[in-house]
Amino acid sequence: MPVFGKGVGRVCAVVAGASAKEMSRQLRMGLKSTPTVELRLDWLKNDAERANFLRWLKEFGSAKATLLATCRRREGGGKFAGDIDGELYWLMQAREAGCEWCDLEMETYRELPEGTLREFPLPHRILLSIHDFECTPKLPRTVSVARHGVVDAVKIAAKAKTIEDSLRLLRVARRSRSFVGVPMGDVGLPARILALREGSELAYAPVEEATAPGQVSLDEMLHLYRAHELTRATKVYGVIGDPIGHSLSPVLHNTGFAVRRINAAYLPFLVNRLGDFLKAIPEFGICGFSVTLPHKQTILKHLKECEPLAAEIGAVNTVVVRRNGSLYGCNTDYVGVLKALQKKHPIKGSRALIFGAGGAARAAAFALARAGAFVGICARREKTARELARAVGGEVIARRALRTERFDAILNATPVGMHPHENISPLSADELQCRIVMDLIYRPERTKLLKIAAQKEIATVSGVEMFLAQGFAQWEIWTGKRAPEAAMRRAVHSALRWRS
Ligand code: NAP
């Protein structure tokens, strides 16, 4: 029997505010999405606000909701400055106000004289919680509620420093009953989303402010990742990179899955060491993944097979995990550049200048050269520029020549001007002697470079167009279906507006 309910009720909204007014506002908001809510009484700024909130809660009456009261002391990683008596007092008041559950941290439980816990009129059901904000400690094979006698469920929330840490916690969830597993931190984020699928009774998500590191908002947990609907039959995809928090790929791909009703989820994996992620592929059940900085080149040596063009470019941004576990790599940045640029100008016979000579520049250079363009490379490291120019049959263009030489298209393939450095441009107005400027950067959508170009009445192409095109191609490689482009495009534009 599920301890906290089924379906959406397994996603617990975390309500945490400094005032009673703020807490009640968040509670009403949270209840619109899920009937299970944790009330962080320790976040209220003083006892008067706690009393006000609980008085309001009693009148509010939330019989249909499952309310879990928490008043975590500082020793346990919370904000409550009082002692154990204070904590127990507020939890008892929470029961009076209608809370069926309370979260009692191990630090408090251990201090109570043996066998006395149930003598306190606490909420009827107790979730015994263990937190480690520094690391994932050695874990037992299974967690048994019976061992703690009088509690109803046990929670372990631990910071995952590695992907393996987060998997260790999921394994406990798989083997235990009445257990809540919460991998914390950015590395633990995919496991946090998959925890329900692995048998955790709850996944926490804040209505507003994050109360623990690496939390996903309630809205994202329910609507972007649909954590409560994921099962072992769900196909898992993801993006690997470092950093990865800024990526819009989860919005793009999950929207596609939702629109086409495909049982799949796409998650952001913060991957520092590639080997750690590769080892975890079978256990997560990953079917394919996108690759971004800094792994686009290093992934090559782990592939069983690679599309010849991606091997020539020397970078892979898309990996398919085959049934036998072997990896096949390809490059859709190539398609992305072509599709984005083709809309504005025929490529065959045109003159293009690429500024930069890194991974994206290589994909762009091969794409344009193969499509019949002359390709000039301008980069701050001459040797790299020369190598790339030679590989695609193009030429190195000196920076000073940009003021006089004309091109059909100039492409920025450096990160100069990317969020949060929106106010700088890699090139000046008089270096834009061309008809079209394309910036590969997609955040912000309109970079300083594109604004300068528009002022000179030069046509512009945003990196969003390339991002979308490379993403549609990835999605189609993995699913074998046509991508619902309009819906995916709308979702990305709306996320970009929301984030800027
Ligand atoms: P990368 O491999 O690190 O290459 C970056 C290039 O920019 C290198 O040539 C680097 O030169 C040069 N560079 C960096 N800072 C510079 C500066 N201040 N002045 C002049 N040159 C500078 O990165 P990447 O993967 O090619 O990505 C480049 C950009 O493209 C990023 O903004 C990325 O977000 C974007 N991108 C967009 C898409 C899309 O779908 N829209 C896809 C891929 C990439 P050094 O080698 O000398 O450092």
**355-406 confidence digits (pLDDT tens):** 999 989 999 999 999 999 999 999 999 999 999 999 999 999 999 999 999 9
Give the nearest ligand 1 atom to 415 CA: 32
* Residue finishing a domain among 180, 201, 232: 232
| pLDDT at res. 318 | 98
Q: Is residue 59 part of a domain?
A: yes
* Contact residues of ligand 1, CB 6 A cut-off: 293, 333, 336, 356-361, 379-381, 384, 413-416, 418, 440-442, 463, 466-467, 470
Hey, what amino acid is at 112? L
Residue 479 shares a structural domain with residue 434? no
Helix axes 163-175, 274-284, angle to 10 degrees: 20
Residue 79 shares a structural domain with residue 206? yes
pLDDT in tens, 24-34: 999 999 999 99
Cα separation, 117 vs 310, in Å, equals 63
Q: Is residue 134 part of a domain?
A: yes
pLDDT in tens, 221-268: 999 999 999 999 999 999 999 999 889 999 999 999 999 999 999 999
pLDDT band of 196, cuts 50, 70, 90? very high
| pLDDT at res. 303 | 98
How far from 44 is each of 38, 39, 78, 189, CA to CA, in Å? 13, 10, 11, 27
Q: Atom 20, ligand 1: which residue's CA is nearest?
A: 380
- Count of domains observed in the chain: 3
pTM above 0.85, yes or no: yes
Q: Is residue 363 part of a domain?
A: yes
Q: Is residue 336 part of a domain?
A: no
Helix axes 463-479, 485-499, angle to 10 degrees: 130
pLDDT band of 472, cuts 50, 70, 90? very high
| pLDDT at res. 1 | 59
- The pair of structure tokens assigned to 463 is 């990196």
Residue 129 shares a structural domain with residue 262? no
CATH of the domain at 190: 3.20.20.70
Hey, what amino acid is at 427? L
Instruction: Name the catalytic one among 235, 296, 339, 448.
Output: 296
32 is catalytic: no
| pLDDT at res. 3 | 76
Residue 294 shares a structural domain with residue 371? no
Assign residue 122 a region (left: φ > 0; alpha: ψ between -120 and 50; beta: otherwise): beta
pLDDT in tens, 97-152: 999 999 999 999 999 998 899 999 999 999 999 999 999 999 999 998 876 668 99
Residue 275 shares a structural domain with residue 357? no
CATH of the domain at 490: 3.40.50.10860
Residue 85 shares a structural domain with residue 159? yes
Strands annotated E in 51-152? 66-70, 101-105, 125-132
Cβ-contact 103, 72 below 8 angstroms:
yes
Angle at 94 between CA 12 and CA 131, to 5 degrees: 50
Cβ-contact 406, 432 below 8 angstroms:
no
Residue 88 shares a structural domain with residue 148? yes
* Residue finishing a domain among 214, 232, 250: 232
Residue 219 shares a structural domain with residue 262? no
Q: Atom 13, ligand 1: which residue's CA is nearest?
A: 414
pLDDT band of 210, cuts 50, 70, 90? confident
Strands 153-159 and 125-132: parallel
Give the nearest ligand 1 atom to 360 CA: 26
| Locus of tokens 């800027």 | 500
pLDDT at 500 over 70: no
| pLDDT at res. 363 | 96
237 alpha carbon to ligand 1 midpoint, in Å? 25
Q: Which SS3 state, helix, strand or coil, does residue 96 take? A: helix
Query: What mean pLDDT, rounded, does the chain reach?
Result: 95
Give the nearest ligand 1 atom to 414 CA: 7
For the chain, give the longest Cα–Cα distance. Answer: 86
pLDDT at 450 over 80: yes
CATH of the domain at 359: 3.40.50.720
pLDDT in tens, 153-170: 999 999 999 999 999 999
Cα separation, 216 vs 289, in Å, equals 20
Residue 39 shares a structural domain with residue 106? yes
Residue 364 shares a structural domain with residue 476? no
297 alpha carbon to ligand 1 midpoint, in Å? 13
Cβ-contact 196, 34 below 8 angstroms:
no
| pLDDT at res. 148 | 62
Among 51, 219, 28, 132, which Cα is nearest to 71's? 51
77 alpha carbon to ligand 1 midpoint, in Å? 40
- More confident of the two residues 500 and 165: 165
Contacts of 188 (CB under 8 A, 6+ apart): 159, 160, 165, 166, 169, 214
Q: Is residue 144 part of a domain?
A: yes
Residue 309 shares a structural domain with residue 360? no
| pLDDT at res. 2 | 66
Cβ-contact 257, 224 below 8 angstroms:
no
Q: Which SS3 state, helix, strand or coil, does residue 102 take? A: strand
pLDDT at 213 over 80: no
Among 151, 61, 48, 169, which Cα is nearest to 104's? 151
| pLDDT at res. 246 | 83
Cα separation, 424 vs 290, in Å, equals 28
Cα separation, 424 vs 364, in Å, equals 22
Percent of the chain surpassing pLDDT 90: 91
358 alpha carbon to ligand 1 midpoint, in Å? 6
Range of the domain at 300: 237-331+469-495
Q: Is residue 337 part of a domain?
A: no
